Amino acid sequence: MAIIINKPEIIKAAGNKPKIIEEYFGRVTSKTDEISLAKMVSPEGWEEPGQCPDFNEYTLVFKGILNVQTRTKTFDVSAGEAIFLPKGEWVRYSTPYAGGAEYIAICVPAFSPEFVQRDEE
């Protein structure tokens, strides 16, 4: 059965500064656990704790630069670029550059706080 999402749900974000997460599909908005799709708007200077999630994450940057740190390499993902992080890989996201970043994140299975496995702060 088709469903339409008239507006996203705002999800509380982790990190040192306020970040907007608008979930269009996922456990909260569409009550689906197969996949989640959310628009992120993170400010300059935002960073979150590292994590080792139990989901694959596909990220497409629309504006700015998203910094993605893994155990072996750090990537600056610019507008028009995308990155894939497989489940079980440690990662830390941040937006240290002027203007922050806007991006879409797709998680398979859908994002859930108990699947993130954030580092102790």
The rounded radius of gyration (Å) of the Cα atoms in the chain is 14
Residue numbers of the domain that contains 35: 11-109
Distance of CA 119 to the CA centre of its chain: 16
Structure tokens at 89: 């890989």
Asked whether residue 4 is domain-assigned, the answer is no
pTM (predicted TM-score): 0.91
Asked whether residue 3 is domain-assigned, the answer is no
Asked whether residue 105 is domain-assigned, the answer is yes
CA atoms within 13 A on the CB side of 69: 10
Contact predicate 36/106, CB 8 Å: yes
Asked whether residue 75 is domain-assigned, the answer is yes
CATH assignment of the domain containing 56: 2.60.120.10
Number of other residues whose CB lies within 10 A of the CB of residue 85:
21
Residue appearing with tokens 């999800």:
11
Contact predicate 66/59, CB 8 Å: yes
pLDDT in tens, the chain (121 residues): 888 999 999 988 888 899 999 999 999 899 989 999 999 999 999 999 999 999 999 999 999 999 999 999 999 999 999 999 999 999 999 999 999 999 999 999 998 877 776 787 6
Asked whether residue 115 is domain-assigned, the answer is no
